Structure 1
Amino acid sequence: MNNKFLLAAGVSSVLLLAGCASGPDEETTAKMADTDARVSKLEQDLAALKAEHEKDSADNKATAMAAKEAAMAAQDESARANERLDNVAQSYTK
């Protein structure tokens, strides 16, 4: 009796494992292909966004540098104008 039970358990476990070992069906394969396509699309979008971000970052740095140079030029010009005003004021006497 014990031997028959062990034999039945062994055969059923082999059949169970054989059923689980089959490959994915067509629906699962289609879902995997769709998921792979979506992941590829997301990777392309991410690469495009990274490139755009790097370009924008470079543009922002260039704009900031130009603004800084313009501010320095304005400061130099205002110092020069103040110096001229000081010279004019010194030439007048009571």
Structure 2
Amino acid sequence: MNKILIAAAATSVLLLAGCASGPDAQTKAAMSQVDQLKNQVEMLSKEVAALKSNQADAEMQAQNASMAAKEASMAAMAAQEEAVRANERIDNIAQSYTK
């Protein structure tokens, strides 16, 4: 009975010593892979932030271009209306000379 208890105690001590030892090669490799993945996630996060910034800039430029196009269209319409009024004045002057 004592031999069994001694064997059980020795086995438990060896098991606990094995669990308390430092990380083995597989654990180190896994930790290295985790670190690499963390670095990749950080890099991808930075790239996503840069792309979002670029997209916001592009949207702003598109809005500015749209506003400029609307302003140009309004200016063209105003010029056309002014040309029509000028033509009417010229027609009225021409009619006054023919009377």
Unaligned residue ranges in structure 2 (runs of 5+): 92-99
Q: Which residue of 2 aligns with 1:44?
A: 39
Query: How many Å apart are 1:37 and its aligned residue?
Result: 0.7
* In structure 1, C-alpha distance between the alignment counterparts of 2:4 and 2:74, rounded to whole Å: 98
Q: Which residue of 1 aligns with 2:79?
A: 84
Query: How many Å apart are 1:46 and its aligned residue?
Result: 0.6
* In structure 2, C-alpha distance between the alignment counterparts of 1:86 and 1:9, rounded to whole Å: 110
| TM-score normalised to structure 2 length | 0.72
Q: Which residue of 2 aligns with 1:34?
A: 29
| TM-score normalised to structure 1 length | 0.75
RMSD: 2.3
Number of residues paired by the alignment?
Answer: 86
**Identical-residue share of aligned pairs (%):** 16
Q: Which residue of 1 aligns with 2:12?
A: 17
Q: Which runs of 4+ in 1 moved over 4 A?
A: 7-13
* In structure 2, C-alpha distance between the alignment counterparts of 1:33 and 1:81, rounded to whole Å: 71
Larger radius of gyration: 2
